[in-house]
Amino acid sequence: MRRFWFWVAAMAVLVVLGSFCVRAIAFAMVPDAPIERYGGFHVGLSLPIPVVQVAPHWHAIIALWCMLAALAVCGWQAARSVATQHQPSLWPIMLGYALVAGVFTFFSVTISIDSYYYTAFARLFGVYGIDPYVLVSPIRVADPILAKEYTLLHNPPFPDPYGPGFTLLAGLVGRLEINATLWQQLWTWRLISVASCLGILAALARLLARAPARERVQRLALVAFHPLVLYESGAGGHNDFLMVAAALWSYAIVDELPLIAGLLLGAAISIKYFAAILLPFIAIRAARKNLVAPALIVGLAVVVPVLCFHPFTFGHTGQTTLAKVGANLSMSLTWLVSLPLLMFKASAAGAAQPWLDTALRCIQFAVGAAFLAIILVAAIAYARRAKSALILRCVTALLWSLPALHPWYGIWLAPGAAVRSAWAPYAWWFCALMLLIYAHEAVLPTPVNHTIFIAIAVVVLAVPIIIARRATQGLMLPQAPQAAAEPQEGAQA
């Protein structure tokens, strides 16, 4: 036990040192960032929690990667040591995660601006009753907190791309924090993500209930102390944790409580629409015990998001927002395949090339069609034999089919590191390498940096496959005792 807490303490110390170093390095780059070229960099550093983006050098993001790599080593060792306890228990993992992630909530900088959007939508809707899905003209409300956010997000900000369930929750949080400072509001979303991640770990523990005690705690620790999980929950504060927690609990309790499972899945979809990928698998699993349950689950999964939309106007503006999000290509398979066309389009110097846009849409359509085919085949196979690998395959296919990849999307696959199959090393390494994608946001996209971005995207997509194919779980992840029978897994959202 002492060894485990040593590694937990080491992670907490690394977070403190990393926070200090990354912030200091970011501000040290200011003299090399003329404001006429790096205006966004200066704006980001002026905020309560500085945003380090489009920087003149790689120094800050490299420092962050070094800290995260050291965290990965310590987390790996913590996962190894936790299984050596005489009576393995889950509470040290939960407490250890809460400690490290709690320290992370005070991380002094961020690379993602999402939490600023959360606080803006929360204040617009929760305090002033403004529909964040319809933001087409400058907002005339005199609010010092919103005014400070507009320097980063502009006025009006980009309309709300999230589900209505999340926006309702954001409005409630904004109303409760009507007199809070912007820093406190940002910190609240970090706390919400940490609490949601504890819910994910609890759901995973339930799904792994049939595994031997030592193996159970070790596999859970691989997720709890993963560098992506720690950073994105504590410092990133992303709403993906809310979605995954609700979806994972829906899958975990569908056998015993299908009605509650349907409500949870509907809540997950109302936070982020991507959670709908789990719907066919939960419905099929429920059908094994009761033919009425699947209809209830599907109905609730549809009705809950629709009801959540009642206070809002989606319409043409909402459709345009989602279309803009879908048209943004970066750091993804679709982006890599489309690069020759994108380069040709850029070289056209503004000349109209309708066939280029058609070709780009065809590429996205082909990738999307391949994803739907994988979903269909996996659902049919799942109906024959409920294997968690089929769900992991679909989540991976979803990530590969997205027009743009962001590091926190890896949270959707992170629970896969707890399964007992070749998917565990794939999920662990894919999620770890996803942190490299922050390069696309952290530094100015010069021609040289653009080439590096391409190399990073190839590494993120290809290297986890190579690792999963060339090594067994026992070689790539801490060795766990083997159980006599395969436990109930399916830990994925």
Give the pair of three-digit tokens for residue 98.
């809460």
357 Cβ contact partners less than 8 Å away, ≥ 6 residues apart:
none
Most distant pair of Cα atoms in the chain: their distance = 70
What is the structure's pLDDT at 326? 73
Rounded to 5°, angle at Cα 197 from 218 and 471: 40
36 Cβ contact partners less than 8 Å away, ≥ 6 residues apart:
none
What is the structure's pLDDT at 351? 56
**Whether 191 contacts 183, CB under 8 Å:** no
Q: pTM for the full model?
A: 0.91
Angular region, 129: left φ>0, alpha ψ -120 to 50, beta rest: left
More confident residue, 483 or 479: 479
Chain-centre distance of CA 350, in angstroms? 35
Q: How confident is the model at residue 324 (pLDDT cuts 50, 70, 90)?
A: confident
Q: Does residue 486 carry a pLDDT above 50?
A: no
Q: How confident is the model at residue 472 (pLDDT cuts 50, 70, 90)?
A: low
Q: Does residue 481 carry a pLDDT above 60?
A: no
Give the pair of three-digit tokens for residue 259.
């009605």
What is the structure's pLDDT at 459? 96
The most confident of the ranges 209-223, 228-242, 346-360, 475-489 is 228-242
Q: Which residue has the tokens 């944790």?
A: 241
State the burial class of residue 276 (Cβ atoms within 10 Å of its Cβ: 0-12, 13-18, 19+).
middle
Percentage of the chain beyond pLDDT 70 is 94
For 293-316, what is the mean pLDDT?
89
What is the structure's pLDDT at 422? 82
Q: How confident is the model at residue 297 (pLDDT cuts 50, 70, 90)?
A: very high
More confident residue, 293 or 105: 105
Q: How far apart are CA 373 and CA 314, in angstroms?
A: 29
State the burial class of residue 52 (Cβ atoms within 10 Å of its Cβ: 0-12, 13-18, 19+).
buried
Q: Does residue 476 carry a pLDDT above 60?
A: no
Q: How confident is the model at residue 471 (pLDDT cuts 50, 70, 90)?
A: low
Closest alpha carbon to 209 in 92, 90, 347: 90
Q: Does residue 306 carry a pLDDT above 80?
A: yes
DSSP string, 340-400: HHHHHHHHTTT---HHHHHHHHHHHHHHHHHHHHHHHHHHHHHHHS--HHHHHHHHHHHHH
For 30-52, what is the mean pLDDT?
93
For residue 423, how many C-alpha atoms fall within 13 Å in the half-sphere facing its CB?
A: 23
DSSP 8-state class, residue 405: -
Rounded to 5°, angle at Cα 229 from 223 and 232: 170
For 146-172, what is the mean pLDDT?
93
Q: Which residue has the tokens 């110097």?
A: 349
State the burial class of residue 95 (Cβ atoms within 10 Å of its Cβ: 0-12, 13-18, 19+).
middle
205 Cβ contact partners less than 8 Å away, ≥ 6 residues apart:
90, 216, 220
Q: How far apart are CA 324 and CA 351, in angstroms?
A: 21
- So where are the chain's domains? 329-479+488-493
What is the structure's pLDDT at 205? 93
Q: How confident is the model at residue 361 (pLDDT cuts 50, 70, 90)?
A: confident
pLDDT in tens, 371-414: 999 999 999 999 988 888 899 999 999 999 999 999 999 999 99
What is the structure's pLDDT at 352? 58
Q: Does residue 19 carry a pLDDT above 70?
A: yes
Number of H helices, E strands in the chain: 22, 0
pLDDT in tens, 328-348: 889 999 999 988 888 877 776
Q: Does residue 479 carry a pLDDT above 70?
A: no
Q: Does residue 478 carry a pLDDT above 60?
A: no
**Whether 76 contacts 476, CB under 8 Å:** no
Q: Does residue 485 carry a pLDDT above 60?
A: no
Q: How far apart are CA 282 and CA 287, in angstroms?
A: 9
State the burial class of residue 123 (Cβ atoms within 10 Å of its Cβ: 0-12, 13-18, 19+).
buried
DSSP 8-state class, residue 55: B
What's the mean pLDDT when you consider all of the chain?
89
Q: How far apart are CA 270 and CA 309, in angstroms?
A: 9
Q: How far apart are CA 26 and CA 139, in angstroms?
A: 32
Q: Does residue 354 carry a pLDDT above 80?
A: no
More confident residue, 84 or 162: 162
pLDDT in tens, 422-446: 889 999 999 999 999 999 999 988 8
For 227-251, what is the mean pLDDT?
96
Q: How far apart are CA 99 and CA 93, in angstroms?
A: 10
* C-alpha distance from residue 424 to each of 24, 79, 155, 392 (Å): 36, 14, 44, 10
Give the pair of three-digit tokens for residue 341.
């066309």
More confident residue, 378 or 290: 378
